[in-house]
Amino acid sequence: PDLQGFGRRNMALSPDEGYAYVLYQVGALAAFCRAEGVKLAHVKPHGQLYNRAAVDAPFAQAVAQAVADFNPDITLVALAGGELARAGKAAGLHVAQEFFADRNYTDEGTLVSRTQDNAIITDEEFAVARVVRVIQEGSIESITGKTIDIAADTICVHGDNAHALEFARDIRRALTEAGIEMRPASER
């Protein structure tokens, strides 16, 4: 419900509140999709809702259950290796584990907070190479240089980046050149 902060501010929501907000928002999103004649294929929490669900198991279970209760055929997008990915699988959902192309990771495999100067990767060439590495090798270096394992099914490119479209094209080109097959996350 953090409209002014675009969902990036931490809110002290209980798991029950998280469940209710997600169920309500997915229902509204599905209605917009229906009005436009498209199918809702996947759900991805945003901002602090996403970050909290990645590390808080009871909250992650509530978020995953809201999606499963709405429609168990929807793909849940979750931080690779996080609590939401585990909760989604436990709820019987297809889970697309996500890697962030333009974000740094902690030693624990979570995203470096945007409050830190080094949270965002601005060197697009480095970021593209890192995406290829995570797909080919299943690992990257954390912000401290530690090798961490990440099994990614989908890649996040932030659309609010001024060069997002070009960045996404560069990633696609690099993946294609590396012989990596791409398909929609909702395909199983």
Domain count, the chain: 2
Structural domain includes residue 188: no
Q: Using 50, 70 and 90 to split pLDDT, how confident is the model at 8?
A: low
Q: Are 101 and 120 in contact (CB under 8 A)?
A: no
Q: Are 93 and 26 in contact (CB under 8 A)?
A: no
What domain range includes position 36? Answer: 1-97
Q: Are residues 130 and 75 in the same domain?
A: no
What is the mean pLDDT of the segment spanning 120-143? 94
Final residue before a domain boundary, out of 37, 66, 97:
97
Structural domain includes residue 187: no
**Mean pLDDT of the residues in the chain:** 91
Q: Are residues 33 and 12 in the same domain?
A: yes
Burial class (CB in 10 A: 0-12, 13-18, 19+), 110: middle
**pLDDT tens for each residue of 30-61:** 999 999 999 999 999 988 899 999 999 999 99
What is the mean pLDDT of the segment spanning 72-100? 96
Q: Which amino acid is at 40?
A: L
Residue 112's contacts (CB-CB under 8 Å, 6 or more residues apart) are: 103, 104, 105, 106, 118, 119, 143
Q: Are residues 3 and 70 in the same domain?
A: yes
Q: Are residues 40 and 78 in the same domain?
A: yes
Q: Using 50, 70 and 90 to split pLDDT, how confident is the model at 9?
A: low
Q: Render 167-179 in DSSP notation, one character per residue.
A: HHHHHHHHHHHTT
Evaluate if residue 131 carries a pLDDT over 70: yes
Structural domain includes residue 68: yes
Q: Are residues 176 and 115 in the same domain?
A: yes
The percent helix, strand, coil of the chain (3-state, each to 5) is 45, 15, 45
Q: Are residues 115 and 88 in the same domain?
A: no
pTM of the model: 0.89
Structural domain includes residue 133: yes
What values do phi and psi take at 16, rounded to 5? -65, -40
Final residue before a domain boundary, out of 69, 97, 125:
97
Instruction: Find tokens 């659309």 and name the residue.
Output: 159
